[in-house]
């Protein structure tokens, strides 16, 4: 079992977390840090992957509506189309050296899905895959989105699990460019309030199980000192 760093960022603006991923990725690539997983919650934001940079046709709300709702917009360097992040959603950014995991990006995506499927099962939610789409689904509704980047076998970006976000914000986009499927959350499926603090440790346990990690938990301040060297 390999050691991995686990860092809770709390609620952090998207731009700050994106910058942090780059700093951590450089250290992982240089073998100065082990695999590192950043766990975070974002203020409302739409992010557009490389597949949709040339066209924002899947962005439905105009700038005025987004401003009213307090939703930022970023064009980012991950794969995929457009997605939403916001309060009530658990976002994980595994910064992983895939040379330690078989240099297989397809397997990495399936392992992320498997981790979330196992975590959801522990809450009594029967989730699974829906080919050919990436992500985790309950029936034909997506409960977790996955979008990653791999550069020199170092990953960034990751997954977003809908615990209890504002699902209305998903109506401002065509999530992942898929117009014939829905979006759901743990709270909606279970018919009750679900707390991020209750879900996060279960997801962390599932990630450790699937990726054969032993967590070293460090504070954000410790990570900042490690990436500043």
For 175-225, the pLDDT digits (tens) are 988 888 999 999 999 999 999 999 999 999 999 999 999 999 999 999 988
Find all residues with CB under 8 Å of 87, minimum gap 6, and list them: 11, 41, 42, 43, 44, 165, 166
Find all residues with CB under 8 Å of 110, minimum gap 6, and list them: none
Told to judge if 195 belongs to the known catalytic residues of this protein, a careful annotator would answer no
Q: What does the pLDDT average to over 139-164? A: 96
CATH code for 2-227?
Answer: 3.30.930.10
pLDDT band for position 80 (cuts 50, 70, 90): confident
Among residues 117, 176, 194, 203, the one annotated as catalytic is 176
- Domain ranges across the chain: 2-227
Q: What does the pLDDT average to over 86-111? A: 96
Select the more confidently predicted residue: 55 or 112.
112
Q: How many residues does the chain have?
A: 229
Q: What does the pLDDT average to over 93-97? A: 98
Q: What is the largest CA-CA distance in the chain?
A: 50
Whether the Cβ atoms of residue 196 and residue 163 lie closer than 8 Å to each other: yes
pTM of the full structure: 0.96
Select the more confidently predicted residue: 85 or 50.
85
Tell me what pLDDT residue 54 has.
65
Q: What does the pLDDT average to over 46-51? A: 89
């Amino acid at each position: 079992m390999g050691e991995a760093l686990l860092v809770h960022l709390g609620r952090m603006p998207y731009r700050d977390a994106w910058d942090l991923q780059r700093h951590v990725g450089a250290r992982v690539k240089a073998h100065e840090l082990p695999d590192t997983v950043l766990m975070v919650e974002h203020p409302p934001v739409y992010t557009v992957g490389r597949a949709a940079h040339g066209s924002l046709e899947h962005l439905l709300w105009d700038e005025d509506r987004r401003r009213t709702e307090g939703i930022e917009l970023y064009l980012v360097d991950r794969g995929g189309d457009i997605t939403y992040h916001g309060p009530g959603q658990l976002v994980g950014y595994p910064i992983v050296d895939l040379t330690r995991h078989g240099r297989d990006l397809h397997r990495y995506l399936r392992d992320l899905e498997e981790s979330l499927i196992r975590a959801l099962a522990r809450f009594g939610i029967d989730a699974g895959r829906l080919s050919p789409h990436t992500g985790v689904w309950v029936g034909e509704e997506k409960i977790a989105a996955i979008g990653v980047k791999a550069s020199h076998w170092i990953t960034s970006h990751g997954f977003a699990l809908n615990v209890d976000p504002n699902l209305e914000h998903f109506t401002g986009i065509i999530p992942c460019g898929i117009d014939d499927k829905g979006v759901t959350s743990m709270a909606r499926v279970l018919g009750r309030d679900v707390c991020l603090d209750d879900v996060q440790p279960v997801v962390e346990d599932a990630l450790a199980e699937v990726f054969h990690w032993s967590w070293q938990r460090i504070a954000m301040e410790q990570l900042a000192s490690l990436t500043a060297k």
